[in-house]
């Protein structure tokens, strides 16, 4: 069996490594920080990003990219969106044209407004890269403990998605296939923005009614974005859409929800970022979401207000008041 390469040892990358290793698969895990890599090899634990979870001895942990990707037929990219391009540029020269990439990052690149699969394809040009997307309602700690989870593996190439479904599924890590890579990626990115808004509402003590309204209208915003980009409306009602949105907006393990809660409690975004090493993708991705919506000429008022709160200093109370006072309209 050829090794599975996982690039990125945050909570999600580590959880994937643990999950696949328990299924008796050969796993190699690339860790950006050499000191963290040494500590993980010694303690068999990622004490920073996934504390308390034992990493099987069969997981090869390395800070050297070549050692991790050499001979791997499948490479999972699980690094933050703002590092995604630079890391992918390190990986591509070291793998063959037959390598299949799986993007496990939920974000949209700032400035270029490219989805993660588009970043890989652009770097790989003029040769073609086979890129799938792994997404769905999952928290890394729960997955790493072997608690049941269902996700989506999305690719326009049926052969690729069926192969990955078989190769990566386990009895408690169930993968469904989806041809709509665009929709799956955009859902995974945009739901983080709505989860921040839901957290803000809870942090302000506005009650369950307000949070439910924000999440529901947020789903409408994501739907407009997905369909404007050529994605399928049906994707919104599946695991990568509604499933992931509900988990991220309401789950206590959601980093994006926690950011919103802290904002609602009166903390500044600078204080929140300084207080944790974990990355809430929604902070950066909200900027891309709003710019993409403007480019496409679609309305995303919740996303726009969250951008103003995160990046322009708008008070959370004012943001939600502005949303409630918008012109009355048909749903």
Whose structure tokens read 């990493």?
A: 55
Half-sphere exposure of 226 (CA within 13 A, CB side): 28
Cα separation, 217 vs 302, whole angstroms: 8
Cα separation, 310 vs 91, whole angstroms: 32
Residue closest to 254 by CA, chosen among 274, 277, 272, 280: 280
Q: What is the DSSP letter of 151?
A: E
Cα separation, 251 vs 61, whole angstroms: 30
Name 77's bridge partners: 7, 103
Token pair for residue 157?
């190439």
Is-cis flag, bond preceding 126, omega within 30?
yes
79: exposed, middle or buried (Cβ count in 10 Å: 0-12, 13-18, 19+): buried
Task: Name the residues annotated as catalytic.
Answer: 191
Give Cα 153 to chain centroid, integer Å.
13
CB distance 17 to 55 below 8 Å: yes
Cα separation, 320 vs 302, whole angstroms: 9
Give Cα 102 to chain centroid, integer Å.
12
Alpha helices in 107-235 (DSSP H): 116-124, 140-144, 158-168, 181-203, 208-228
> How many CB atoms neighbour CB 255 within 10 A?
21
């Amino acid at each position: 069996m050829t090794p599975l390469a996982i690039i990125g040892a945050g909570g999600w990358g580590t959880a994937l490594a643990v999950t696949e290793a328990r299924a008796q698969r050969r796993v190699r895990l690339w860790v950006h920080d050499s000191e963290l890599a040494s500590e993980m090899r010694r303690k068999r634990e990622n004490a920073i990003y996934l504390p308390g979870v034992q990493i099987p001895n069969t997981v090869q942990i390395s800070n050297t990219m070549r050692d991790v990707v050499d001979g791997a037929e499948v490479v999972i990219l699980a690094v933050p969106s703002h590092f995604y391009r630079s890391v992918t540029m390190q990986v591509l020269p070291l793998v063959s044209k037959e390598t299949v990439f799986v993007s496990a990052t939920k974000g949209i690149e700032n400035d270029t407004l490219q989805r993660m699969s588009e970043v890989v394809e652009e770097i790989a040009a003029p040769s073609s890269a086979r890129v799938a997307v792994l997404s769905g309602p999952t928290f890394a700690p729960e997955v790493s403990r072997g608690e049941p989870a269902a996700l989506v593996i999305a690719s326009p190439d049926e052969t690729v998605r069926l192969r990955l479904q078989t190769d990566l599924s386990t009895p408690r890590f169930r993968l469904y296939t989806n041809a709509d890579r665009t929709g799956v990626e955009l859902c995974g990115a945009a739901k983080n923005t709505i989860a921040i808004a839901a957290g803000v509402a809870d942090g302000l003590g506005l009650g369950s009614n307000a949070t439910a309204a924000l999440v529901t209208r947020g789903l409408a915003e994501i739907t407009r974005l997905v369909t404007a980009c050529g994605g399928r409306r049906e994707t919104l009602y599946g695991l990568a859409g509604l499933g992931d949105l509900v988990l991220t907006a309401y789950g206590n393990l959601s980093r994006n929800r926690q950011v919103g809660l802290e904002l609602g409690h009166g903390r500044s975004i600078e204080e929140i970022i300084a207080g944790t090493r974990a990355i809430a993708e929604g902070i950066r991705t909200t900027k891309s979401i709003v710019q993409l919506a403007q480019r496409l000429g679609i309305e995303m008022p919740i996303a726009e207000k969250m951008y103003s709160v995160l990046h322009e200093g708008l008070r959370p109370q004012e943001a939600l008041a502005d949303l409630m006072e918008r012109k009355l309209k048909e749903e």
